[in-house]
Every structure is written in C-alpha cells, then in structure tokens.
Amino acid sequence: MARNVAKSGLSTAVRPHPVIIPVASGKGGVGKSFLTANLAMALAGMGHRTIAVDLDLGGSNLHTFLGLANRYPGIGDFIHNAAPTLEGLLIDAGVPNLRFLPGDGRTPFLANLGSAQKQKLVRYIQALPADYILLDLGAGATFNTLDFFACAPTGIMVTTPDLPSVMGMQVFLKNHLLRRIDRRLSINGFRPLRPLLKGLLKEPLDRQPASLNALKSRMVQQNVNAGQALADAIAGVRPRVVFNMGLGPEESRVALNIRESMTEVLAIEPDFFGFVFHDPSVRRALVVRRPFLPNFRESMAALNILKIAERIVKYWKHPVPNSAALMINHAFQATGSLNPANP
Ligand SMILES: Nc1ncnc2c1ncn2[C@@H]1O[C@H](COP(=O)(O)OP(=O)(O)OP(=O)(O)O)[C@@H](O)[C@H]1O
Ligand SMILES: [Mg+2]
C-alpha cells in the first residue's frame, strides 16, 4: 500500500491508513490468539508490513504463538506512561515484515481501562506504520473488547462449529450492535431516544425485543425517527466469521444456519472467511516453542490459514458473494472429499 502511494505521486509524507483487523470471539479458548499470530505471519509472508498487537489485556499470551519470550515492555507500559509511544515498543517477530506489540504480560491489572485511555490507545494503534494491524482481543463482550472491536469498520469473529461457541458469537455481535446504536443515539437530535433503548433493555428477558427489527418497531412506536437512527447505526456491520478446530468438513455447514439467524435476529449479514481444521501440529509447535506457520507449512491448519490470508487481501474491504457456499466447498476440497450437497 505504501508502494502504491509512492507510485501515485503523492507526497511520501502521506501515510496510508493501515487495515485494522480486530479478532474477537464470544467464548474463550476458540483460537483467537493462535489465528491472530498465524494470520499475521501469513500476511507478512505475502510481503505486507504487518503488526500483531496483543490487546487481550489481563490475559496477554500472543507472544507464545509467535514463539517469543514474555520479557518485552508493551501496552501496559504505555498505559502507565512508562513508554511515550507504541512505535518504540514494536518487537521484530523473527519473520520478515512482521512486528509484534506486546500487551500487559509484564504489568498486570490492566483489564479495566478508562475510556480516555482506550481512545488514546486506539489512536496510537491506528497511527502505527503497517499495511495490516491484527488485534488479538480477550474473550467475551466486555466493554474493553467491544470498544477495541469497534475501532475498525469490521473484524474477524472466531468460533468453533459447536453451538455454545456459535451462540457466544451471536451474543457478542448483539452487544456490539447495541453499543453502536447507543452511540448513535448519543449524538444531537437523537438523545431523547437513549432512555428509550435503556428502558427496553431493562425489561425482563422474555419481554425484551427478540430481534433487532423488533427493537426497531418498539422504538419507532415511540419516536418516528428511531428507525432511521437504528438503521444508520448498524449500516455496514459485516463481521467476518472464521471457524476453528473443525473436526470434519460437514461441520462447515453450520455457516448456513448462522447466516440465516444473523439476518433474522441481528439484521446483519456475515461473510464467511474460512474453516480451519483441528490439527495436532498446533500443539506440537507449542511444545517445541516454534511459531506454527513457518514450521508446519504443509499441515492442514497451515493451508487453511494461508487461504484465509489470501481472502483477507482480496476481499477485506468488500462483501464476499456467496461466501457460505464457497467456504463449505473449500472445507470439503481440503480433505479431498466431495460436498454431497454439490456433487
Ligand atoms: N486449529 C487448531 N487445532 C488444534 N489446536 C488448536 C487449534 N487452534 C487453537 N488450538 C489450541 O487451542 C488452545 C486455545 O487457543 P487460543 O489460546 O488461541 O484461544 P483464544 O481464543 O485466544 O483463548 P482466550 O479466549 O483464552 O484468549 C491453544 O492451546 C491452541 O494451541
Ligand atoms: Mg487468546
């Protein structure tokens, strides 16, 4: 991207904005850190200047998946004003084009950040020199995580194919949408609608609106402008779903149900970016303390991750047409079997 700017004749002082990719999940332990580290290595391997950021404050362990020690100052030191910039904290990750920004592994108790601290941190991250910046987030819908997820137009949602993990993802996205709606209502003209939203959400669960569209109708009953405000708040929300630890290609079909329920309940459409199989080499890489991708390049999970990196480069800024069907076909192809629904 930097090269394009130089070619186009713009001043070299103009820095193009990096593509920021937050990586989140509803449930913990689904492989966010593993995927963040390895997607970052894959993008760097394709020649893109990449930074992997450990934003799982309170649970930083991204260094482990990069094969690095936990001995560098990081975001914790920046928050405590012991480091004036983030750029000075970047570590060479041992792979060309890849740098690592450590979290708070050396400075615990950072899990609760004030909103001014969060905003400053996000501003500094957005200004880092890179083509791609991947953010490894903590699990679940805490305010920190929701705010970091919202710092970019879209992000990756990691889930395993099983129901609790998929439900967790839906809950995370619902909270993400409600936070966006609340933000939208806090600007001039819409402020009177805010107590309305809060009131609706305080009702017992069985009386709360069952879908975003139901919420919209309830709000519109009380204020005709509410529909537009809500539509504006969720416009462009298009999460990129990555399945991890798949046990067989048939599990990829869950994408069809997810697409349906996200459209029905949350009024948004996801793009399916990839299906990564459960792979014993992932554990082996950790045991020998080596980063996974460069050392197990031929393994199934490595091939799946390289495919996702290609999709990121090709499609990150655009909707992916027919992504569920494409991903399901690829999952079957990866195991050398035919998708029975598509003989
Ligand atoms: N595709 C895979 N095959 C086998 N093991 C995997 C795979 N992906 C992740 N793992 C393993 O699963 C465990 C959890 O992964 P990871 O720590 O990346 O999850 P996480 O979502 O970041 O967890 P947390 O929510 O605690 O931050 C790790 O031990 C990791 O090595
Ligand atoms: Mg993690």
**Residues 269-304 pLDDT 10s:** 999 999 999 999 999 999 999 999 999 999 999 999
Nearest CA to ligand 1 atom 5: 282
Confidence of residue 111 (pLDDT cuts 50, 70, 90): low
Q: Average pLDDT in the 62-72 region? A: 94
> With 0-12 CB in 10 A as exposed, 13-18 as middle and 19+ as buried, what is 159?
buried
Q: Is residue 133 part of a domain?
A: yes
E-strand stretches of the chain: 19-24, 50-55, 91-92, 98-101, 132-137, 156-159, 240-246, 271-277
Q: Is residue 126 part of a domain?
A: yes
Q: Is residue 11 part of a domain?
A: no
Question: What is the domain extent for residue 83?
Answer: 17-160+241-248+272-326
User: Ligand 1 atom closest to Cα of 37?
Assistant: 18
Nearest CA to ligand 1 atom 8: 31
Question: In this structure, which ligand is nearest to the CA of 31?
Answer: 1
Q: Is residue 88 part of a domain?
A: yes
* Separation between Cα atoms, residue 254 and residue 238, nearest integer Å: 18
Residue 143 main-chain phi, psi, to 5 deg: -60, -40
Instruction: Decide: 36 and 55 in contact? Cβ < 8 Å.
Output: no
- The CATH number assigned to the domain holding 124 equals 3.40.50.300
Instruction: Select from 282, 289, 303 the residue to mutate for testing ligand 1; criterion: most ligand atoms less than 8 Å from CB.
Output: 282
Instruction: Select from 33, 149, 165 the residue to mutate for testing ligand 1; criterion: most ligand atoms less than 8 Å from CB.
Output: 33
Instruction: Select from 23, 25, 33, 34 the residue to mutate for testing ligand 1; criterion: most ligand atoms less than 8 Å from CB.
Output: 34
Instruction: Decide: 97 and 50 in contact? Cβ < 8 Å.
Output: yes
Q: Average pLDDT in the 62-83 region? A: 92
**Residues 222-272 pLDDT 10s:** 888 888 889 999 998 999 999 999 999 999 999 999 999 999 999 999 999
Residues linked to residue 246 through DSSP beta bridges, in sequence order: 277
Q: Is residue 99 part of a domain?
A: yes
Domain count, the chain: 1
Confidence of residue 190 (pLDDT cuts 50, 70, 90): confident
Secondary structure (3-state) at 178 = helix
**Dist. CA 30 → ligand 1 center (Å):** 5
